[in-house]
Amino acid sequence: MWGRQREASMMYKRTSSRDRSSTFDVEETTALVQNGTEVENTNPSWKLSFPHVLVATLSSFLFGYHLGVVNEPLESISLDLGFNGNTLAEGLVVSMCLGGAFIGSTLSGWIADGVGRRRAFQLCALPMIIGASISATTRNLIGMLLGRFVVGTGMGLGPTVAALYVTEVSPPFVRGTYGAFIQIATCLGLMGSLLIGIPVKEIAGWWRICFWVSIVPAAILCLAMVFCAESPHWLYKKGRTAEAEAEFEKLLGGSHVKSSLAELSKLDRGDDGDIVKFEELLYGRHFRGRYHALVYILELLE
Do 123 and 112 lie in one domain? The reply is: yes
Do 289 and 258 lie in one domain? The reply is: no
Do 65 and 146 lie in one domain? The reply is: yes
Does 37 fall in a domain? Answer: no
How far apart, in whole angstroms, are the C-alpha atoms of residue 155 and residue 185? 13
Does 3 fall in a domain? Answer: no
Do 126 and 190 lie in one domain? The reply is: yes
Do 253 and 104 lie in one domain? The reply is: no
Does 17 fall in a domain? Answer: no
Residue 2 has what pLDDT? 47
Residue 199 has what pLDDT? 93
Do 266 and 291 lie in one domain? The reply is: no
Cα dihedral sign, 128-129-130-135: positive
Do 185 and 151 lie in one domain? The reply is: yes
Does 208 fall in a domain? Answer: yes
Do 238 and 187 lie in one domain? The reply is: no
Residue 113 has what pLDDT? 92
How far apart, in whole angstroms, are the C-alpha atoms of residue 154 and residue 108? 9
Residue 226 has what pLDDT? 93
Question: pTM of the prediction?
Answer: 0.75
Residue 296 has what pLDDT? 56
Residue 125 has what pLDDT? 96
Does 23 fall in a domain? Answer: no
Does 16 fall in a domain? Answer: no
Does 160 fall in a domain? Answer: yes
The tens place of each residue's pLDDT in the chain, 302 residues long, gives 445 444 444 444 444 444 444 444 444 444 444 444 444 557 778 888 899 999 999 999 999 999 999 999 999 999 999 998 899 999 999 999 999 999 999 999 999 999 999 999 999 999 999 999 999 999 999 999 999 999 999 999 999 999 999 999 988 888 889 999 999 999 999 999 999 999 998 998 999 999 999 999 999 999 999 999 999 989 988 888 888 888 888 888 877 778 777 777 776 665 445 555 655 555 555 455 555 555 556 666 65
Do 145 and 180 lie in one domain? The reply is: yes
Do 255 and 301 lie in one domain? The reply is: no
Burial class for 195, CB neighbours closer than 10 Å (0-12, 13-18, 19+): exposed
What are the Cα distances from residue 287, in Å, to 23, 173, 269, 299, 301? 29, 33, 27, 18, 21
Read off the CATH number of the domain in which 265 is found.
Answer: 1.10.286.90
Give, for 99, the enclosing helix (H) or strand (E).
helix 87-115
Does 2 fall in a domain? Answer: no
Residue 194 has what pLDDT? 93
Cα 281 from chain centroid (whole Å)? 28
Do 127 and 237 lie in one domain? The reply is: no
Do 187 and 203 lie in one domain? The reply is: yes
Total domains present in the chain: 3
Mark which of 228, 261, 286 sits at the end of a domain: 228
Read off the CATH number of the domain in which 171 is found.
Answer: 1.20.1250.20
Residue 35 has what pLDDT? 47
Residue 126 has what pLDDT? 96
* Phi and psi torsions of 19, nearest 5°: -65, -40
| Domain encompassing residue 287 | 277-302
Mark which of 170, 195, 228 sits at the end of a domain: 228
